[in-house]
Structures are given as C-alpha cells and as structure tokens.
Amino acid sequence: MDEFVLNIGKVFVKFSGKSEVFDSIRKEFSLYPLVDADPNLEFNFLNKSPVVEEDLVRSNNLLVSSNKVYVNDGHFFYVISECSKKWKVDLYCFFKFPASYYRKIIYSCKRFFHWNYLYHHENLAKNFIYNIFDYIFELFSLKKNLNQTFIHASSFDKNGQGILLAALGGVGKTTLMTKLVFEHNCKFLADDLSIIDDRYIYFNPKFLQIYPYNLLNNPYLSKVLFRNRSLIDKVNWYLRSRLKGLKGVRRRMSPFDVFGSSNICYKSRFTKIFFMRYANASKISISNVSCDYIAELCSNVIVSELFPLANILLNIYSSIQSCFIPSLAEFLDKVKKVYCSVFANKKCFLIDLPERYDLNYLCDLILETI
C-alpha cells in the first residue's frame, strides 16, 4: 500500500491506498508539496467496504451517529470519523478495472465519448477531489479554527499583491485570470478554489477546468490547450463543442502545463478582492463595498459550489441532534466569520457585468484599480 503526506495550506493531509483510481488521485495531487509530518486529516482507500457499526440512523444515502458519518455516493462508500484532533476518512471505491483483453479495449474506447476525455478511473479520481475531498477539507479547516478557508475564486499575484476574483461558476473568473497571467505579467495562484487566511493567498495547484467559452478572446490559452493533443482528442473537443455548446466539453490541465513554472506564485500577500456578477446593465461598473457584504456573498457561493456539502449537512441534522461535523447553519456562520476576519483591512470591490462585455476593458479596469 502506498502512502504520502501533503501540506495543503495549514493542514497536513495523508493519503494511502493502492488501485488505478488511487494512482490517478496521486497524480492529481502530485503538485502539492510532500512533507514528513504527522497528518491531521487522513484519506485511506481500502480494498473492501468499511465495517458499518450498529445503532446508526439512516438519512437517504447516509448512515449517521454523533461520531461517525457513512456516505454512499454511488461511486464511493466512505466513513468520516473524528479521533482526538484528527479526522479520518476510510473509502471504498466500487469500480473494478476490467480484467479481460476485450473489456479493456471497450473500456479504452469509451474515453472518446467522455466530455473530459478521461478514462473512467481518471474521472472517479476527479469526482473524489470535487465531491469528497474539497468539502471535507473545508469542514475540517473551519472545525479546527485554523482561520483558513477555501473561497470560490481565481487568484493571481501582481507585483507582490495577491488578488482574488470571486464569483459564481460560469461568470468568467478563469477566463479573466488566464488573460491577466498570459498578457499582463501576473502570476498564477489558484483557479476555482483559492486557499486564504488573514495574510496570504496560497498556491493551489488543482487542475484548471477549461471550457470552450474560456477560449473566447484568449488565443494564448487556445494555443496551450491544443498543444501536444492527439487527433482523436481534438475531434472529441470539436464535435462536443459543436453539438453540446460552449459548456458541453472541457479539458483539465495542470497550472504548470498551462502557465509554465515561471508564471507561478506560491504565496502572495492578500490585498484585494473583486466579486464579479452578471447584472441587468449596459456596461461594466465597479464599486467599493464593505467587507461584510462581500463576506455574505462569498459564504453563500461556497455552499453552492462545494457540492454535496449542503445535502450532507442537511441529511445529518434531519436525523440526529448532535455530530462532530457542524450543521449547515453553523458552517455558514463559521465561514462568514472567517471571511469577515480575512477581508478586514482589505480593499473589496463589486463588479457588475452586462451579459456581453469587453474582456480587454475589464482587464484594464482591474489593473487600474490594483
């Protein structure tokens, strides 16, 4: 069984296991720094299902007690438990790699029809990160009062200033951030989920998810995306983008492959946050707002984006009264307090965007404000 410990923000996270899915997860996390430290959050991938204790209460796909939560999401069966100051997650993946030669051929062919152009075990690794790891990591960080949190934002460094671009999904964080890095001498910190505390924005090497709409007015990203891709990969992208539209296909890429090591920043002093939203407006407008207002917006966004966080917490507390995992109301209160603390003494801006806007003008506006 393989194992490794990573330093992610202020948390030491241990992973152990041995399977095709685990190997893909290891690849996904390979850009985080390896450390020789005692972990305070563990993910153990088992070769058999975790033993289910008696006297548990069932709530939809959960089995819950005050000190353990069992979840079956259709791909993984896992149990979250707390022991002393540590959290431990034992997981069993239902997937079995095909054994016969012909089944392996069929398995490989199915990749062409996947919108990420991933093998099934690679897609399960991605699902683990987005649907299990992210929300558990966030709950752990808040429960242990680390004054550290995820925020649904892209982030970059400009001349020693750490800048957040926060928004709901699909507003244009990734498109804007990549253009600033490629064309305006900024350095990449994170995409999708940034790790922040009251002083710094930390490098989060989670893979970027690139859609066709991210390529609009972004020739450098287009060039990087299609570099070294196979003909079949490109055909998959072309057909799905034509048939399914601008959100019907995507590719996942390491930030090092997208930007190169010279355009990466590992930690930057947090100075400003821009919250972007679509509005019924004819032109782009930017306004100074209070940190409390931005904290309120960002706390609601993180709940909606950390799927299945809200469903898990609601199911737990619809069945029992107390658990080591916070309730949804407690989570919202904690994350808002952390955001308020982190945003204090930072410059907070609200950007209202029309349905169609000039990306170059928005870049210039942000750079002028910085």
Q: How far apart are CA 38 and CA 91, in angstroms?
A: 20
Mean pLDDT of the 102-129 span: 96
Cα angle 86-92-94, degrees, rounded to a multiple of 5: 160
User: Is the model's pLDDT at 92 over the cut of 90?
Assistant: yes
Torsion of CA 106, 210, 213, 361, to 10 degrees: -170
The sign of the CA dihedral 342, 270, 153, 120 is negative
Confidence (pLDDT) at 217: 86
Amino acid (one-letter) located at 122: E
Q: Which H/E stretch holds residue 90?
A: strand 86-93
Identify the burial level of 176 via C-beta atoms within 10 angstroms of its C-beta, where 0-12 means exposed, 13-18 middle and 19 or more buried: buried
The answer for residues whose C-beta is within 8 angstroms of residue 272's C-beta and 6 or more apart is: 161, 163, 164, 346, 347, 348, 349, 369, 370
pLDDT, one tens digit per residue, over 72-87 is 999 999 999 998 889 9
| pLDDT at residue 146, as a whole number | 92
Q: What is the mean pLDDT of residues 325-338?
A: 96
pLDDT tens sequence across 344-357: 999 999 999 999 99
Q: What is the pLDDT of residues 201-238, one digit of tens each?
A: 999 999 999 999 999 989 999 999 999 999 999 999 99
Distance separating alpha carbons of residues 139 and 129, to the nearest angstrom:
14
The confidence band for 1, taking pLDDT boundaries of 50, 70 and 90, is confident
Bridge-partner residues for 187, per DSSP?
Answer: 157
Whole-number pLDDT of residue 349: 98
Residue 54 pLDDT level (bands cut at 50, 70, 90): confident
Q: Does residue 105 surpass a pLDDT of 90?
A: yes
Burial (CB < 10 A; 0-12, 13-18, 19+), residue 324, is: middle
Backbone dihedral angles phi then psi of residue 122, each to the nearest 5 degrees:
-70, -40
* Predicted pLDDT of residue 83: 87
- Supply the pLDDT for residue 85: 85
pLDDT score for 310: 97
Q: Please provide residue 228's backbone torsions phi and psi, each rounded to the nearest 5 degrees.
A: 65, 15
What are the sequence ranges of the domains in the chain?
2-143, 149-369
Within 10 A of 160 (CB to CB), how many other CB atoms are there? 10
Task: Look at residue 57 in the predicted model and tell me its pLDDT.
Answer: 96
The domain 149-369 is placed in CATH, from the list 3.30.70, 3.40.50, 1.10.760, 3.40.30, at: 3.40.50
Which secondary-structure segment (H or E) carries 351?
strand 347-353
Q: Are 129 and 57 in contact (CB under 8 A)?
A: no
Specify the amino acid at residue 213: Y
What proportion of the chain, given as a percentage, has pLDDT over 90?
Answer: 97
Q: Is 234 left (phi over 0), alpha (psi -120 to 50) or beta?
A: alpha
Give the integer Cα–Cα distance in Å for 51 and 339.
38
Query: DSSP 3-state assignment of 91?
Result: strand
Residue for token pair 């005692």: 38
Number of Cβ atoms within 10 Å of the Cβ of 286: 17
Extract the tokens encoding 10. 């202020």
Q: Half-sphere exposure (CA, 13 Å, Cβ side) for 267? A: 8
Asked if pLDDT for residue 187 goes beyond 90, the answer is yes
pLDDT at residue 282, rounded to an integer: 92
- 144 Cβ partners below 8 Å, 6+ apart? 40, 85
Average pLDDT, the chain: 96
pLDDT band at 257 (very low <50, low <70, confident <90, very high): very high
| Lookup: tokens for 361 | 């003008």
Residue with tokens 């995409």: 191
Mean pLDDT, residues 51-57 taken together = 92
What share of the chain in percent tops pLDDT 70?
A: 100
Angle at CA of residue 128, ends 261 and 103, nearest 5° = 100
